[in-house]
Amino acid sequence: MIYSRIIGTGGYLPKKILTNAELEKTVNTSDKWIVERTGIHTRHLAAADQDTCDLAENASRQALEMAKVKCSEIDLIIVGTTTPDRVFPSTACLLQARLGNHGAMAFDIQAVCSGFVYALSIADKFIKTGTVKRALVVGADIYSRLVNWSDRNTCILFGDGGGAVVLEASAEPGILSTHLHADGAYKDVLTVPSKIEQGRLHGDTFTKMQGNEVFKFAVKALSKVVDEALEANQMDTTAIDWLVPHQANIRIITATAKRLKLPMEKVILTVAEHGNTSAASVPLALDVGVRDGRIKRGDTVLLEAVGGGFTWGAILLKY
């Protein structure tokens, strides 16, 4: 049997850090209020001259270096993003050019905060069917540009970043199963409602969020999809060495872990320092866990995310 196995991870955060104390000066909020409700202390913001491809490139080069793989050896490039640099071509094609790869498949996935999980699942299928041998999968977003910085309900949550993994075909177990879902009936609960008309954006270009509804849906959906992944592999939560969740809000993460009866000591957390980096949050957290030595070869790792749409999904893998 052919598995797809992660052989390299990478992450990148812009240099500029925005603290809660700085936000106190611009909106009616406080460090205490933000931390109690979200767990976030700081977030990173892209510079004016940085684009999503910059973030993706930095993360990708780290992942390729760890994997000891040349850019020319990549057969597939997928970028999960909600903030592409152009209407077209895709950010994946722009990244391909930056990396000096010619001829590999390259395309973007738009599933908002679930983008990386969706992209990794797709790459897994390409490898398992023998279509490609190596894939570069990226989650990158400059989500701060979709935020109204006078809206305290959303501006406290989001930051920018990029994360990446290199997948390779292997006889050793890697990705065990992937589970993806969506329900467009919730399209207005978390959305940027603007659209393109005659070459211009029309309508509200900022994120609109019904926070309580997002929280309730996320906890229920994530718990269910994690159970789905475990059941598919005839495992229970005791088999999980590490949970790498979407870093949206500490309350969602802790509530999900509690419903799964999973101790927080087994959860990789970066939300305090990174905030919600949308499609980048899962690969960034995975990279942190790998590089600090917590996630080791042979560990059973569960990735999960939920995003606007709603979209949600989980991936169970052997690292």
So which residues are the catalytic ones?
Answer: 113, 246, 276
> What are the CA-CA distances from residue 207 to residues 121, 134, 157, 200, 262 (Å)?
26, 35, 11, 18, 32
> What are the CA-CA distances from residue 91 to residues 61, 81, 223, 229, 288 (Å)?
15, 8, 32, 30, 24
Q: Which residues contact 82 (CB under 8 A, 6 or more apart)?
A: 110, 112, 115, 141, 143, 146, 278, 279, 308
- The two tokens of residue 178 are 């992937």
Task: Please give the DSSP secondary-structure letter assigned to residue 159.
Answer: -
Residue showing tokens 């990029």:
162
> Residue 1 CB: number of other CB atoms within 10 A?
6
Maximal CA-CA distance, the chain: 57
CA 266 to chain centre: 19
- 12 vs 163: CA distance, rounded Å: 6
φ, ψ (nearest 5 deg) of residue 219: -60, -45
Task: Tell me if residue 226 falls in helix, strand or coil.
Answer: helix
Element (H, E) at 120: helix 115-128
- 224 vs 27: CA distance, rounded Å: 36
- The two tokens of residue 14 are 């812009």
- 296 vs 286: CA distance, rounded Å: 11
Q: What is the CA radius of gyration of the chain?
A: 18
- 134 vs 145: CA distance, rounded Å: 32
